[in-house]
Amino acid sequence: MDIGGLITSAGINISICVVLSSLYSVLRKQPSNAGVYFTRRFISEPIQHDDPFGLHRFVPSAGWLMRAWQATDEELLEACGVDAVVFMRIVVFSLRIFIIATVVCISIVLPVNYYGRDIEHKSFRVEPYDVFTIGNVEEGSKMLWAHCFALYVISFSAFVLLYLEYKSITKMRLAHITGSHRNPSHFTILVRGVPCSQDESYSKSVENFFSTYYPDTYVAHQMIYRPSTVHKLKKDVKKMYLMLRPTETEYVRIDKPCYLCGGTAHTFKVIHKDNSRSQTRIDDLHPTQIEKECPAAFVFFKNRYAAVIAAQVLQSWNPIKFILRSKEEPTNIALNFPHHTEIPRMLLFGLLGFTFAILAPLILPFLLIYFALAFLVYRNQILHVYVTKYESAGLFWPVVHNTTIFSLMLTQVIAVAVFALKEAPIASGFTIPLVVFSLLFNEYCRKRFSQVFKRSPAQVLIEMDRRDEQMGREEGFYNQLRSAYCQLAYITKDLTISEDFSRAGPNRHRKDDEDENSPKSGQFLLIPSFQDPLVI
């Protein structure tokens, strides 16, 4: 091993790290960079730049590292929610397990690998890297028991830490659900596979079904119409074209020039409000006739418990009809915190650490450095930069748990194969029960904790419903359910809203309702007349 080259490489990388950290500490002090380094605070409240100019702005400091180190889980929870805390638990778990693995493997496995063969070792500086791996151990050597012992210590330490983390995150998730604000998604389910016949529409089928089988808890439903925004725009253009094309028009010629704008004024079409053909075409623009209904709808219930029960029960003897599932929040999901890239990276490094722990333990100190830097950097980013737009309450932790168990089992299987190649059948046989125990532990955790991440407990939902009843939060909330999942962003007031579009509630429009600002019979509507035809 070239110790000089290793030290030189380490020195260069450490120097670059120190320079970049110093540059970061200087740039974050500049007021013009507040939107970059303090994004979360910059969005929530305006940042005052009252700090006078001084040399301290250009002096590097490690204050941000100390604040990131001293931050508690409560501060992270307040800053970015449960997902950020659970993400940091991944980093903390990795630090803990690899500290244990580093201590065990460097103190036990590494000397065994180095002295695994009865050879005269030369100077440490010229030793090849292979002497520090399990490949340097002789076949049939009793020293392979050290590797088996280290594997048991690492595996059972991981089991204990995973169990404690799973239990803690489960409690945190339940506390978040219990203390969460009332959300329309808690009372809404998505229904697919709605049957339709010649006698009734999709909307009528949904109304009849849930009014019959859920008479006490069913509130209303919202049909799903448009598949995309582009389709909506095309439909809007077509509707306007159909409304304007058959209209009987009268032209009023204005010959007086407009001296302010230059030239003569534009010609206008005069449309009679009581025109029968025009009124017929406007009626044809009813949403249930123009917009094609989909065999899907949002169904709203009076309480959370009824919505959860309806989503989990088979609704019809035909399993492809009335397929129900819980609905997510009616917002655009935008993850500012990069879970989708950072979590797989953490799990990948964890996989490498587990598999190389007893094979080539020299990789473990470098992994510790990586996770230590990740601990400081991510905590600083969570406190000052990342802005949470969607909260899953740690829903990704079961994936992290299963991936970690897979990494452990892969390590154990590789160890069984290596022990067999090294002609150590006893050590190989003692490793097989460890694989079985890993499967049993994973199954226990799945039955013990994972159900909380798939569905909410009835006890928690009922307590939340009772709390809402005691605090009188039900008044006026049911009317908000329909508007929360409304697909039509705007509806003109001279067009009626169908009962199919929104069934329940006293605020439903009727066909005979007229807006007080709409033109009365005999009045005129002035619409600009264009020379070029409308192309669709």
Q: Give CA–CA dist 65/467, Å, rounded.
A: 42
pLDDT at position 226 is 59
Residue 130, CB half-sphere, CA atoms under 13 Å: how many?
Answer: 5
Whether the CB-CB separation of 515 and 493 falls below 8 Å is answered with: yes
Whether the CB-CB separation of 143 and 427 falls below 8 Å is answered with: no
Give pLDDT tens digits for 416-437. Answer: 999 999 888 888 899 999 999 9
Whether the CB-CB separation of 482 and 220 falls below 8 Å is answered with: yes
Whether the CB-CB separation of 47 and 41 falls below 8 Å is answered with: yes
Cβ neighbors of 174 (< 8 A, separation 6 or more) are: 452, 457, 460
Residue 441, CB half-sphere, CA atoms under 13 Å: how many?
Answer: 24
Q: Tell me which residues of the chain have a pLDDT lower than 50.
A: 247-256, 258-290, 329-335, 489-536
pLDDT at position 467 is 81
Give pLDDT tens digits for 468-514. Answer: 777 776 656 776 776 777 665 443 333 333 333 333 333 333 334 33
**Which three-class secondary structure string do you get for 102-159?**
HHHHHHHHHHHHHCCCCCCCCCHHHCCHHHHCHHHCCCCCCCHHHHHHHHHHHHHHHH
Q: Give CA–CA dist 14/496, Å, rounded.
A: 70
pLDDT at position 367 is 93
Handedness of CA 160, 163, 166, 168 (dihedral sign): negative
Name the nearest CA neighbour of 405 among 170, 165, 159: 159
Dihedrals φ, ψ of 380, to 5°?
A: -65, -40
Dihedrals φ, ψ of 290, to 5°?
A: -85, -50
Dihedrals φ, ψ of 528, to 5°?
A: -55, 140
pLDDT at position 475 is 59
pLDDT at position 217 is 85
Residue 432, CB half-sphere, CA atoms under 13 Å: how many?
Answer: 7
Q: Could you tell me the two tokens for 43?
A: 């969005």
pLDDT at position 351 is 95
Cβ neighbors of 61 (< 8 A, separation 6 or more) are: 25
pLDDT at position 271 is 44
Residue with tokens 């339940």: 174
pLDDT at position 510 is 36
Q: Measured between alpha carbons, how far is residue 282 from residues 52, 161, 240 in Å?
A: 64, 67, 10
Name the nearest CA neighbour of 226 among 470, 485, 487, 507: 487
Q: Could you tell me the two tokens for 289?
A: 């006739």
Query: Angle at which helices 73-80 and 364-384 pack, to 10 degrees?
Result: 50
Q: Could you tell me the two tokens for 406?
A: 């897979």
325: left (phi over 0), alpha (psi -120 to 50) or beta: beta
Q: Which helix (H) or strand (E) holds 101?
A: helix 82-104
Q: Give CA–CA dist 165/171, Å, rounded.
A: 10
Whether the CB-CB separation of 239 and 493 falls below 8 Å is answered with: no
